[in-house]
């Protein structure tokens, strides 16, 4: 039985850990030829080996997406070459989360976070989308965050994810009429579960229908849906995969 992404090519940024890795592995499982991109060659090789051991197709392309147009354009070019000249699906997943409150953030950190979280996907999309438009089809998936809409401390990161979700809607308007679908996923607190380990963010899922953290595979399955033809009529949405965090309050009884 053919996979849902059979014959497609995909570039996944930040694909050497957590959500990005899960998306890359699930895409490959569904038949896509995947470029795994990230800064660590060692971790990238591990992801590629896992994909290939299961019969999938993958290549690692190293990239340090610092927000410069050159870095994004170089990744686009290298990924296209690795995939045989075309990217059908782009997943803008790479991002960084700064520590500290607003008064503790200096300008260098501010610029770095906006560079990685906003400028990098902006210029990568700018580099990849024209080929999709020329082909008359393509899919772009951005990773937002639940804290872009439910305020908690962490203004800098939240604002970058708010920007990404706004870009999603604007790009859907810009590229949708030309055959390119653009959507976003907004994950809740998501981590691979380690027995005995308590994640600081896990408490944020208290009072939700799920009542616990999500797994990276939960986001990966949503990404497959948005990347596949099953969502052909879906444009410009932010798909909440957050255990109900932003939409539902469970009242304790």
Q: Is 97 a catalytic residue?
A: no
| CA–CA dist 140, 129 (Å, integer) | 8
Radius of gyration of the chain (CA): 18
pLDDT in tens, 72-117: 999 999 999 999 999 999 999 999 999 889 999 999 999 999 999 9
Catalytic residue among 97, 157, 175, 225: 157
pLDDT in tens, 156-200: 999 999 999 999 999 999 999 999 999 999 999 998 776 666 677
pLDDT of residue 207: 86
| CA–CA dist 57, 81 (Å, integer) | 15
pLDDT in tens, 112-131: 999 999 999 999 999 999 99
This prediction has a pTM of 0.95
pLDDT of residue 198: 67
pLDDT in tens, 197-236: 667 778 888 888 988 999 999 999 999 999 999 999 999 9
Per the CB < 8 A criterion, the answer to whether 58 and 31 are in contact is: no
Which residues lie closer than 8 Å to 137 by C-beta, 6 or more apart? 88, 179, 180
| CA–CA dist 159, 117 (Å, integer) | 10
pLDDT of residue 252: 59
The structural domains of the chain, ordered by start, are 9-241 (3.40.50.720)
| CA–CA dist 147, 164 (Å, integer) | 12
Task: Indicate if the pLDDT at residue 154 is higher than 90.
Answer: no
- Burial call 175-198: b when 16+ CB within 10 Å, e when fewer: beeeebbbbbbbbbbbeeeeeeee
| CA–CA dist 114, 163 (Å, integer) | 10
Task: Indicate if the pLDDT at residue 140 is higher than 60.
Answer: yes
| CA–CA dist 141, 227 (Å, integer) | 8
């Amino acid at each position: 039985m053919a996979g849902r992404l059979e014959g497609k090519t995909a570039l996944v940024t930040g694909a050497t850990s957590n959500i990005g890795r899960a998306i890359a592995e699930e895409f490959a499982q569904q038949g896509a030829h995947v470029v795994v991109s990230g800064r660590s060659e060692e971790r990238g090789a591990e992801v590629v080996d896992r994909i290939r051991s299961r019969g999938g197709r993958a290549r690692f392309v190293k990239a340090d997406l610092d927000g410069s147009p050159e870095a994004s354009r170089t990744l686009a070019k290298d990924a296209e070459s690795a995939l045989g000249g075309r990217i059908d699906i782009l997943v803008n997943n790479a991002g960084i989360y700064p520590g500290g409150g607003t008064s503790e953030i200096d300008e260098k950190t501010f610029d770095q976070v906006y560079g990685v979280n906003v400028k990098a996907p902006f210029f990568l999309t700018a580099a990849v989308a024209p080929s999709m438009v020329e082909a008359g089809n393509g899919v772009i998936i951005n990773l937002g965050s639940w804290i872009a809409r439910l305020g908690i401390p962490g203004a800098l990161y939240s604002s970058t994810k708010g920007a990404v979700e706004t870009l999603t809607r604007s790009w859907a308007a810009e590229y949708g009429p030309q055959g390119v679908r653009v959507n976003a996923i907004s994950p809740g607190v998501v981590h691979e579960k380690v027995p005995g380990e308590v994640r600081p963010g896990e408490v944020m899922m208290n009072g939700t229908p799920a009542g616990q953290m999500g797994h990276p595979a939960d986001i990966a399955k949503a990404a497959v849906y948005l990347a596949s033809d099953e969502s052909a009529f879906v444009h410009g949405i932010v798909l909440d995969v957050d255990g109900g965090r932003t939409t539902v309050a469970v009242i304790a009884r």
